[in-house]
A and B are shown apart, each in its own frame.
Chain A
Amino acid sequence: MKLTGAEILCESFTRLGVRHIFGYPGGAILPVYDALGKSKLHHILVRHEQGATHMADGYARASGGVGVAMATSGPGATNMVTGIATAMLDSSPVVCITGQVSSKLLGTDAFQEIDITGITMPITKHNVVVKHAEDIARSVREAFVIANSGRPGPVLVDITKDAQQASCEFDWEKTTPQLPPKRQRTSYDSADFERAVDLLNSAKRPLILAGHGIMVSGAMRVFEQFVRAGNLPVAMTLLGIGCFPANDPLNLGMMGMHGEAWVNHAIQEADLLIAVGMRFDDRVTGDLRTYAKGARKIHIEIDRSEINKNVKVDVALISDAREVLEQLLPRLEHRERAEWLGHIRGLKGDAAVRDIQGLPDNGHLYAAHVINDLWKETRGEAIVVTDVGQHQMWEAQYYHHNQPRTLITSGGLGTMGFALPAAIGAKFAKPEADVWVVVGDGGFQMTMSELATIVQEKIKINIAIINNGYLGMVRQWQEFFYDKRYVATPLVAPDFSALANAFGIRGERITSRAEVIPIIRSARESTESVLIDFRVEQEDSVYPMVPAGGSLHEMIRRPNSPLVETASTEL
């Protein structure tokens, strides 16, 4: 069967199980768009190519499969850079297809020619230029394998226009991936394994540090068994949220810069840390010189380059998290740990009395209230897609996720503008899910043009803007560390509800706590997208906070209030 390169690309997508492509057309990718029109693939027209990559990323994170983004050459391709880097830092399997000028024009500075493989080399897991129609199917198949194997990541395939146009014989069977034969390094010897077992069974104050890798390897079930078998308390990274139910008493919550005090204290006081699928990011460890000084460390991680990168560990088990946990599980002995777990509970009680949730309604609307009410109203079952900043941390603290892949957020790169497009991608991956965007007034203004994509695609997403009139997290840093000099953080925004109306979306503005639950209910009942502009307290801060580079146990705590009661994670 003779097909053009463009047709081969679409046929390959179909055979790989792709149903949605997020993209934006242009000259150098036009042959592919022509072929797309004749295929059954659903193309979602975005408003900016950055949006396409975030959508593909959100799609991948919600589904566990590969998300596909497409753009033309030159500016189309360079607009993808931020989204590709976001996917790279959070190990998200995204395949980006870019058009490229014809092969005979390569290197001539032709119209809309840019060296996108050169530009994206450090921010992709792999990238490739395809100059022949014959190579398209194999390259795309390889891209899918690379993107979603081992530690996942983005792959970019740059296809010249002449390769899209040329015709060649198409035989799927003859295009199987031919990746280089690599040495397998994902292994550990029995001595390391036995050492880990000994450490696990002899620890008095063990603590698990649960990361994104648990979700990626599909280890949730065995992880839960592991936690219960060993009676081991769990602290989560931001991207690890959802890997273990928040309502489980052994789940302490998020660790790190804005982790709750009891979590960070538990890390500092532990005698054994079991890090699973996480990478000891600086936002998680604080000052490395004072980090968990009294703890032995076991690192279960698939990426060998992460071992001893930031934190020196005693035992490294370099492999897929699920496989390692399955092997360790039968060797793990149950311990009561009454003293250790009781100690952590004590720390927790102290922190809870400072919590804003216990404050009586004083007429002010706090972001934490909005998040808490959203959690209660959605019974913790929504897919929440957050942006970056204060609202992101409040979401992580006050929305208690019990299911994996229900919090989608930009962790490693911290990309503002991520939430709205990523939520669109998540909605296509999980059309039945209740998808909520939780976003600040700053980040929303970065990619709000994607509201038009929502309308054009007729999808239902609810958008909660946590609007405090500041670039809140930066303002908070200025308050704490720059003597309240609020330079470039006060932020003028349009009337978001009117803006939503202009796009053809229902918009609401909420200014008091009493209105929060009714509007959340109303939005959930509506079959159309609703944007809610929550006007929250302007100079509120995220607590606790470990200042950048500070020790994990030296947190800026919440201001104490005698009026409060204990907050609960039970619904």
Chain B
Amino acid sequence: MADMQTLVAYVENKPGVLNRVSSLARRLAINIDSLTVGPTENEEIARMTIVAHTDEQGAHRLEASLEKLVDVLLAENISARSLIERDLALIKVQADQKSRPHLMELIKVFRARVIDVAPESLILEVSGTVDKIDGLLEVLRPFGVLEMARSGRIAMTRGSDSLQPPGTPAKSAEGETVAPAVK
């Protein structure tokens, strides 16, 4: 999507930072499509992936304005780079004796996993790009989707060019392997 931009930010892992970040997007009149926060290997630093409805210019403003926040160590628009983006979904779908075999076929095709089985329903776990999950959802809909929870996107640039928080000691390139792209 042309008007969707993906930013990664390293922030101080402390109360109120999420509020500052989301409040800033509101102030710039930028609608956030997805925002995820999680810890990094350094417990004092959290990593955010922000997917925002805006153009490149808006993303620049968001990125530069985020970096003006004292608690944001780094913000970077990675939209133009080669990316791996992942979303995780839990989907509770209606499944009776009759529909179950057909469902299992689809689950296989989409590389989803069944993580809970009940007499009238299944819970599936699927991860992948937004398109993949949307695709699965599309084909599940006729069976009856009872409930869904999605994690929001996390993203990382491909290759050894890694985005690290400032102050992180540079790691030797030796022994680093380039992870194969996940299909």
Asked whether A and B interact, the reply is: yes
Q: List A residues at the B interface (Cβ < 8 Å).
A: 117-118, 121-122, 125-126, 146, 151, 179-185, 303-305, 307-309
Whether A180 contacts B70 in the complex (CB less than 8 A), given A121-B19, A122-B27, A305-B65, comes out as: yes
Of A180, A182, A184, A309, the contact of B61 (CB 8 Å cutoff): A309
Complex Cα spacing A151 to B69, Å: 12
- CB neighbours (8 Å) of A184 from chain B are 166
Chain A interface SS verdict (over half): loop
Closest B-chain residue to A142, C-beta based?
Answer: B70
Closest to B12 in A: A180
Can you give 24 A-B contacts (C-beta < 8 A)?
A117-B16, A118-B19, A125-B68, A126-B69, A126-B70, A179-B70, A180-B70, A180-B71, A180-B73, A181-B73, A181-B165, A181-B166, A181-B167, A184-B166, A185-B64, A304-B64, A304-B67, A305-B61, A305-B64, A305-B65, A305-B68, A307-B60, A308-B57, A309-B61
Give the residues in chain A near B20, CB-CB below 8 Å: 121
Residues in B whose Cβ lies below 8 Å from that of A117: 16
Size of B's binding interface in residues, CB under 8 A: 23
* Interface check B74, CB cutoff 8 A: yes
Asked if B40 CB lies within 8 Å of chain A CBs, one says no
Most buried by A among B23, B69, B70, B165: B70
Could you say which residues of chain B place their CB within 8 Å of the CB of A125?
A: 68, 70
Is A303 a contact partner of B68 (Cβ separation < 8 A)? yes
**How many cross-chain pairs have Cβ atoms below 8 Å apart between A and B?**
49
The chain A residue sitting closest to B57, CB to CB, is: A308
B60 touches A183 (CB 8 A): no
B67 lies within 8 A of A146 (CB) = no
Contacts of B70 in A (CB 8 A): 125-126, 146, 179-180
With a cutoff of 8 Å between Cβ atoms, the chain A residues found around residue B19 in the complex are 118, 121
Over the window 63-107 of chain B, the binary record of Cβ atoms lying under 8 Å from chain A Cβ atoms (1 yes, 0 no) is 011011111111000000000000000000000000000000000
Assess the B73–A183 pair: CB atoms within 8 A. yes
Point out the residues of chain B lying under 8 angstroms from A182, CB to CB.
Answer: 67, 72-74, 166
User: Please, how many angstroms separate the alpha-carbon atoms of A236 and B62 in the complex?
Assistant: 28
Chain A neighbourhood of B12, CB < 8 A: 180
Min Cβ gap B69→A in Å is 8
0/1 interface trace, chain B 1-41, chain A, CB 8 Å (1 if under):
00000000000100010011001100100000000000000
| A122-B23, A308-B57 known; A185+B67 contact, CB < 8 A | yes
Q: Are A183 and B61 in contact (CB under 8 A)?
A: no
- What residue in chain A is nearest B11 (Cβ atoms)? A180
Closest chain-A Cβ to B49's Cβ sits at a distance in Å of 18
Of the candidates B27, B68, B166, B167, the one having the most CB atoms from chain A within 10 angstroms of its own CB is B68
A305 to B, closest residue via Cβ: B64
Residues of A within 8 Å of B23, CB to CB, are 121-122
The docked-state distance in angstroms from the alpha carbon of A304 to that of B74 is 13
Q: Which residues of A contact B60 (CB under 8 A)?
A: 307-308
Query: Cα distance A121–B69 when bound, in Å?
Result: 10
Q: Which residues of B contact A146 (CB under 8 A)?
A: 70
Question: In the bound complex, what is the Cα–Cα distance between A203 and B64 (angstroms)?
Answer: 30
Known: A304-B64, A305-B61, A308-B60. Contact between A183 and B74, CB under 8 A? yes
